Chains A and B, each alone.
Chain A
Amino acid sequence: MTQTELVFPTLPGIDITPVFQDSRSPMGQHIGLVYMGFGDKRICTGLKWDDSLVGNAETGVLHGGVVTAMIDETAGGASVLATDYKFSVATIDLRVDYMRPAQPRQNLYCTAYIYRLTRRVAFFNAEAFHDDPTKPIAVGTGTFMVGANDSVPDLLGSPFRASQDEGDSHA
């Protein structure tokens, strides 16, 4: 079976502006993470199945750590988006529940949403799924420190900025 191209599934009741941009972090690039869309305080990503990302050679299922890495970076992106690119962020903590077994040779998608933002902490929830967002493979929840260090937030690239600047009504 050949790998299928990444096509982000529709999220019921949620508007997503599509983008297609490789991750800007070295680790994200290493696993092949792609930013696929954004919405209100939300980032969507995709990841092509690859045999080097497998956790059990016998079953061909993605490693749990790959799912966690995907959730971590997607939620980091959502934190940067939700804070208007003003602050660097760093993960404080993260919990991932593996709800059902991932399917072998299947692409994975993730959406992360910042449900509460304070001056210092962004609280997120995230889901990772194959084709059906209502049947998540894993759900994640956790926190990011806002303004964690002096680095310039660089997780998200120009497609996000351009579309935000156009319709920036809350500047």
Chain B
Amino acid sequence: MHETALIDGVLAAIPYAGKLGVTARLDKNGTLTCTLPFHENHIGNAQLPALHGGGLASFLEITSVLQLARQQAAIQDIKTPEDLRHIVPLPVNVTVQYLRSAGALPCYAEAKVLKLGRRTSTVFCQTWQDDETKPVTSMTGVFIQPKS
């Protein structure tokens, strides 16, 4: 399966990602960057304003799942869209750090698979807004693969 089709297929299978408006883009170097567009619905504190911590955690988890599914596909012989169900990981736990207040701007995220396994994998993910060197949140997540 083509990688872009795979990423689109996994994203389309997550209705909640659609509700948040999350999109994914693969650049020439193979780097996957996800975007959480700014929307008033994503605000947690309207006075500041600041994005909701839970919305950001959701974005981190979606980005991590996409990145991990990509790399699972490479080791699990994925041929058809139906095979995708075998590679979409399930979260065991996530730990989120809120490093800076996230303002009324789009958020971007990149994830790195620290350990890729057939049973469990560990992923690290960061989000930033206008300055890539100043992450607003980071997350480490442990995921298991569904039984195929």
Interface residues of A (CB under 8 A from B): 25-31, 51-58, 62-66, 68-73, 76, 88, 90-98, 101, 149, 151-152, 154
Contact = CB atoms under 8 A, between A and B. Distances in A.
Given A27-B41, A56-B88, A57-B14, A70 B54 contact: yes
Contact of B95 (A63, A93, A98): A93
Interface in B120-139: none
B57 A98 contact: no
A90 B97 CA distance: 11
Q: How large is the interface on B (under 10, 10 to 19, 20 to 34, 35 or more residues)?
A: 35 or more
Given A29-B41, A63-B14, A94-B53, 7 more contacts: A55-B14, A55-B15, A57-B12, A63-B17, A65-B54, A93-B98, A95-B95
Given A57-B13, A93-B97, A93-B98, A25 B61 contact: no
Nearest to B40: A26
Given A25-B46, A149-B101, A97 B92 contact: yes
Contacts of B59: 65
Contacts of B44: 25-28, 73, 76
Given A52-B19, A73-B54, A27 B42 contact: yes
- Which has the most chain A C-beta neighbours within 10 Å: B41, B48, B97, B98? B98
B47 A151 contact: yes
A65 B96 CA distance: 11
A69 to B, nearest CB: 2
Contacts of B91: 64, 98
A76 B57 CA distance: 14
Nearest to B144: A98
Contacts of B53: 69, 72-73, 76, 90-91, 94
Given A65-B61, A69-B58, A93-B98, A51 B15 contact: yes
6 contacts: A25-B46, A54-B15, A57-B12, A58-B13, A69-B53, A90-B45
B94 A68 contact: yes
B26 to A, nearest CB: 22
Contacts of B18: 52
Interface string B107-131: 0000000000000000000000000
